[in-house]
């Protein structure tokens, strides 16, 4: 679809405004971390929710809610104080291929991150260079404790050209701050301009139809291409157009 560049920018800005509002929260997994006000609770709820954010959206929300219930609705307190007996309660959890053993390991690794590495924010923002470098460093720390081999697939490896949709979505949630009430904007040491689009089948399909993406694979190279093209419309906040692309793909079947 050939749209003149100025018309495309106006179109995307219109869709960004249309979907970037509190009503968006009601049908989106971001509603789970929005139940909290404490920064640590929000971070952990957001990370665990984003970790299972693939498949049916209603299922994602239901299973993310189940995780939070298993954490006594106090994610940070549970993570800081959980012992082996506490972790047994998650053994029967399942979301698609993400099972109770995976969740148990995730909780242990997050606990290690908060007790020994200063928390999720510290891992991603310390000596910040760019998102790719932070994602590689995060994965190294996340798997620095003993882990089940099948859990490795649940944290994307951008070093192997993964699009890292769920991690980029988590970072977008935590970093973007535009006063519209959807994203949290809690992490101010990472510039919004550095964020990468959470590329999935919906945003990629719409991006190709609009001429924002030419690469056929949904991988890290595609993420960089579409984010770079979106930065032509807003170099300080290119991923704000995730609202537009996602809304067009999911709600409008564009």
Mean pLDDT value across residues 232-238: 97
Q: Indicate the range of 4-13, 136-145, 179-188, 239-248 predicted with least confidence.
A: 4-13
Per-residue exposure over 45-67, b if at least 16 CB sit within 10 Å of its own CB, e if not: bbbbbbbbbbeeeeebbebbbbb
In 3D space, the residue among 2, 4, 59 whose CA is nearest the CA of residue 32 turns out to be 59
How far is the C-alpha of 10 from the C-alpha of 3, rounded, in Å? 11
Q: How many Cα atoms are found within 13 Å in the side-chain-facing hemisphere of 174?
A: 31
pLDDT, tens only, 94-149: 999 999 999 999 999 999 999 999 999 999 999 999 999 999 999 999 999 999 99
In this prediction, residue 88 carries a pLDDT of: 93
Confidence of residue 188 (pLDDT cuts 50, 70, 90): very high
pLDDT for 54: 94
Give me 231's structure tokens: 């930065």
Give the pLDDT confidence score for residue 62 in this predicted structure.
Answer: 98
In this structure, what token pair is assigned to residue 190?
Answer: 């990472």
- Give percent of the chain with pLDDT exceeding 70: 99
pLDDT tens digits for range 31-87:
999 999 999 999 999 999 999 999 899 999 999 999 999 999 999 999 999 999 999
Its sign, for the CA torsion 215, 221, 225, 230, is positive
Say what the pLDDT of residue 253 is: 84
């Amino acid at each position: 679809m050939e749209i003149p560049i100025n018309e495309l920018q106006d179109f995307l800005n219109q869709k960004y405004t249309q979907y970037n509002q509190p009503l968006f929260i009601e049908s989106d997994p971001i509603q789970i971390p929005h139940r909290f006000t404490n920064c640590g609770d929000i971070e952990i709820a957001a990370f665990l929710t984003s970790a299972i954010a693939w498949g049916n959206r209603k299922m994602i929300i239901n299973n993310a809610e189940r995780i939070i219930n298993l954490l006594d609705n106090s994610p940070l307190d549970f993570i800081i104080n959980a012992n082996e007996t506490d972790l047994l309660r998650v053994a029967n959890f399942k979301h698609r291929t993400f099972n109770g053993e995976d969740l148990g390991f995730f909780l242990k690794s997050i606990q290690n991150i908060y007790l020994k590495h200063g928390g999720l924010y510290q891992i991603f923002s310390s000596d910040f260079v760019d998102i790719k470098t932070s994602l590689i460093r995060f994965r190294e720390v996340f798997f620095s404790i003993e882990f089940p081999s099948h859990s490795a697939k649940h944290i994307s490896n951008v070093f192997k050209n993964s699009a890292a949709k769920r991690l980029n979505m988590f970072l977008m949630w935590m970093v973007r701050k535009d006063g519209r009430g959807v994203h949290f904007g809690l992490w101010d040491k990472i510039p919004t301009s550095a964020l990468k689009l959470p590329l999935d089948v919906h945003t990629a399909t719409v991006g190709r139809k609009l001429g924002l993406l030419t690469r056929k694979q949904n991988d890290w190279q595609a993420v960089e291409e579409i984010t770079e093209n979106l930065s032509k419309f807003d170099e300080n906040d290119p991923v704000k157009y995730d609202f537009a692309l996602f809304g067009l793909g999911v709600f409008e079947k564009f």
